[in-house]
Chain A
Amino acid sequence: MRTLRTADMVSGVLLAAMGLLSVLASLKIKGVTGEHLHPRTLPYLLSLVVLITGIILFFNAWRYRGEERIVDWPDREGWKRIAVSLIGIIVYMLLIEPLGFTLSSFLFLFFLIWYLGRYNVLLIILLALATSVVIYFLFIQFLGLTFPVGPLGW
């Protein structure tokens, strides 16, 4: 996956697999016969396009003998930051419904700002608190958007 060639080969295979899966799934779409455009026709054709272009992408990359192009992947540290941040985001989304939007947002902001910036903890708490409070008043109180509220009502 280091070079664009390998990456293209991998994505070609993945796309082709996805296209195949989608072709099979579209064949199962029911519909009334006698229509000019069956509900399954477009999904079927598009899946076929994905399948075929995936294969072409793979073979193009396989045949490619030009200058080696390196994909700009992150280094070890970069991967770690991405992974930790993604886990943070996922945990945040899982917490939104049980804890309520405001509290979970506060926790999320606190964690991610701390993790990415390592600022003074007090400063981060203030920042996260201020943001969550402003968002609570702006979006939930003022605009009346129905976000999940936790057991405490916010």
Chain B
Amino acid sequence: MNILYAFLGSIVGTLVGVLPGIGPTSAIAILLPLTTILPPIPAIIMMAAIYYGAMYGGSTTAIVVNIPGEASSVPTAMDGYQLARQGRGGPALGIAAISSFVAGTLSLVGLTFFAPLLANVALAFGPPEYFALMFMALSLVISLSGKALLKGLIATALGLLVAMIGLDPLTGEARLTFGSVSLMAGINFISVIIGLFAIGEVLVNIERAVAAIYENKIRDWLPTLEDLKHSWGAMWRSSIIGFFLGLLPGCSPAVTTFIAYDAEKKISKRSHLFGHGAIEGVAAAEGANNATCSGGFVPLFSFGIPSGPALAVLLGGFMMYGLQPGPMLFKENPDLVWTVIASMYLGNLILLILNLPLVGLWARIALIPFPILGPMIILFSVIGAYSVRFLMFDVWVALLFGILGYLMRKLGFPLAPMVLATVLAQMLETSLKQSLVLSSGSPLIFFTRPIAAAFMFLAIIMIVWGLWLQFSGRSAQLAADESD
């Protein structure tokens, strides 16, 4: 039965991910309500499958129509779209599928070994360690805003502030509600995400009058042996890069794909081809992308900390089932964790089997004209925002954040820090409070406990590093302004 849900999730995820304008984050947020009718294990399996599927689907639009649904597909689009224009879209999609599979499977092996190991470490974590870890994750995301460091900081502060609206988690005092009853219940972060990503993106496309996007003959469907030969090295190298960087909370695929793509370009003998249709560029970008996704499950499962907006939504899904990912999950629900991990191996395989023959179909779905697609994305956003708590209020919040997301894109404010901040805010505040109780109010507790101190130290290094990047002007490539 669980296989069926993994299968369903992969298909639906790919389908939604393929639609231009919907990245994995919005895809999961929109599809989350679909899983609510299921019991926890199949629901979470389906969510994970949706995540993989949407990640894969996003690369399809990047290759076929040159619309990267999210920042992590940008490197894929650079070579993939060139290949598609040369009539080699089929092989590019094929290599993307194979590379995703190889990287996904390799890093799942990593997940299988690392997650329980880290979960044991995490058992020794008290509130100060958690606070320091989340603080580090936020610093990392801010410092990766590159040139927009100040704007990244602003986005983070705003995200945290938005999450403070409502009742104090410990004492129940009304905060920043301005007397509004609706605001007392707080702002739901799923609405925030749907707004920032899905609605904001639709608005950008509406303004550009994006019509039907693409006309191209597809010559051949499957990659040749030579393509495979060129891509093989890139696949495993990018898997390793993606996985280990993915372990860092806060290091999202948007960042690792750029790093892996760059590394591959540097060592390639055909580096002149990069950007003009190098198949190994697609392999590197997709491999890193997928490896980071699996890598990101390690901090999610063992610490309960999402490494990017997409996993943050997934964490929200877990919480809807009353499951708090973290070290206790391995102790209390080992069957759940292992079933989910096992289902991921299967999900990867399903994606490969599903996608190689369906390459042509996906290529065609991406051809749905935007005037039809845009309104439908809005419709699904409304459904997604409404069905979290069945309040029209949440839909209005989503619209408001949609407009905000549009403006943030225009003005160069990064979205990722805001989303991560909104999601982490409550855990951050609770662990801060608990830490201060432990230390009778002294903030020194974060610097006297070795693990917490190490995280705080790393956070400070990252902030300094971010500042250095900003002033040395080397951050242009890393400017993951729409990262997810």
Contact = CB atoms under 8 A, between A and B. Distances in A.
B154 to A, nearest CB: 5
A121 interface: no
A11 B173 CA distance: 31
22 contacts: A11-B411, A25-B178, A29-B176, A37-B436, A39-B175, A47-B161, A49-B153, A50-B154, A53-B154, A72-B410, A82-B406, A93-B392, A93-B395, A93-B396, A96-B392, A97-B392, A108-B375, A139-B383, A143-B34, A143-B36, A144-B37, A148-B392
Interface string A90-102: 1011001100000
B403 interface: yes
Contact of A25 (B154, B176, B370): B176
A32 B168 CA distance: 12
A22 B36 CA distance: 36
Contact of A89 (B378, B432, B437): B378
Interface in B179-238: 203, 206-209, 211
A22 B161 contact: yes
Interface in B130-174: 150-151, 153-154, 157-158, 160-161, 164, 168, 170-171, 173-174
B150 A143 contact: no
A46 B161 contact: yes
Contacts of A11: 411
B376 interface: yes
A78 B207 contact: yes
Interface string B359-402: 00000000001111011101100110011001010011001000
Question: Which 4 residue pairs spanning A and B have beta carbons closest together?
Answer: A117-B371, A116-B371, A36-B436, A112-B375
B207 A81 contact: yes
A26 B176 contact: yes
Interface residues of B, number: 57
Interface in A99-154: 105, 108-109, 112-113, 116-117, 119, 127, 131, 135, 139, 143-148
A63 interface: no
Interface string B73-106: 0000000000000000000000000000000000
B410 A22 contact: no
B379 A46 contact: no
Interface in B429-464: 429, 432-433, 436-437, 440-441
Contacts of B395: 93, 96
Nearest to A7: B411
B156 to A, nearest CB: 9
B33 interface: yes
B164 A42 contact: yes
Nearest to A110: B375
Interface residues of A, number: 63
A77 interface: yes
A43 B34 contact: no
Interface of A: 4, 7-8, 11, 15, 22, 25-26, 29-32, 35-37, 39-40, 42-43, 46-47, 49-50, 53-54, 56-57, 60, 71-74, 77-79, 81-82, 85-86, 89-90, 92-93, 96-97, 105, 108-109, 112-113, 116-117, 119, 127, 131, 135, 139, 143-148
B379 A81 contact: no
Contacts of B437: 36
B202 to A, nearest CB: 8
Given A31-B171, A117-B371, A78 B411 contact: no
Contact of B157 (A46, A90, A105, A144): A46
Nearest to A77: B209
B371 A57 contact: no
A11 B372 CA distance: 33
A113 B386 contact: no
A32 B173 CA distance: 10
A37 B387 CA distance: 34
A43 B174 CA distance: 11
Contact of B379 (A15, A131, A143): A131
B412 interface: yes
B150 A57 contact: yes
Interface centre among A4, A39, A93, A146 (most CB of B within 10 A): A39
Contacts of B429: 37, 42
